[in-house]
Amino acid sequence: MKTFIFLIIVLLTNIIQGITGFAGTVLAMPFTILLLGIEVAKPLLNIVTLVACVLIVFESYKEIVWKEFLKMTAIMLVGVFIGEYIYALFPVDVLLIIYAIFIILIALKGIFVRKEYEVTDAVLIGVIVLSGIVHGMFLSGGPLLIIYAVKKLPKKAAFRATLAPVWIVLNSYLLVKQFMGGFITTQIMVLSLISVPILIVAVIVGKKLYEHMSQKTFLMLSYMLLLISGISLIL
């Protein structure tokens, strides 16, 4: 039953990932933590996200804005190093509550705050670093990174295509660390392999919806799911 529920989570969240290019892991993480525990959820969703993003890049690589990809990736890596250190330093239960509050605030901002504020490039760089820190702890830097991406990648196709390879680089680094640390268990490998057909279906469906429906609608859906997942994690 847990495997079946996990596959449903993979399907639904990666349809969103296929549409927006960023929301899959942050939506799946709280539910997967509740279902399987954080020590399984982090490496498992890392692999799942890697495969999903490779599929997205395969069909949309022509839309990648390489300058922004390199900039976001380099700065986020700095944040990832900091995030790994913080994760090792503090109790997981405390970090999970902070994480839940973080995604609830991001969700509420996305749902209720329509106004876009002008911010300096220095602030945007800080946002990328903070995104990397969250990604280093919980593989969920996407909601913060979009604050930068929506300003620098206003075209929907470039936004989606450029974010996917960022996650490939960052998650590949984290996967190597997880493998070396002995966190990639037989259970995780089996669940990852089972997830691949579901991922392919999810990305195809997400691509079709992305082509025919408003991204604004699906961003709103992502924020609503973020709110539900954050509240669930706290409860």
Instruction: State both tokens at 222.
Output: 């992502």
The 10s digit of each residue's pLDDT in 83-126 is 999 998 988 888 888 888 888 888 898 888 877 667 788 999 99
Domain chopping of the chain, boundaries: 2-234
Q: Phi-psi region for residue 167, left (φ > 0), alpha (ψ -120 to 50) or beta?
A: alpha
Closest by CA position to 14, among listed 212, 167, 186: 167
Q: What distance in Å separates the CA atoms of residue 110 and residue 142, rounded to the nearest whole number?
A: 13
Closest by CA position to 202, among listed 19, 54, 28, 2: 19
| CB distance 60 to 165 below 8 Å | no
Quote the pTM value: 0.82
Q: What distance in Å separates the CA atoms of residue 35 and residue 235, rounded to the nearest whole number?
A: 14
More confident site: 136 or 215:
136
Whether 20 has a pLDDT exceeding 80, the answer reads no
Whether 210 has a pLDDT exceeding 80, the answer reads no
Instruction: State both tokens at 16.
Output: 């969103």
The 10s digit of each residue's pLDDT in 130-147 is 989 988 988 888 777 877
Contacting residues for 229 by C-beta, under 8 A, at least 6 apart: 27, 29, 30, 31, 103
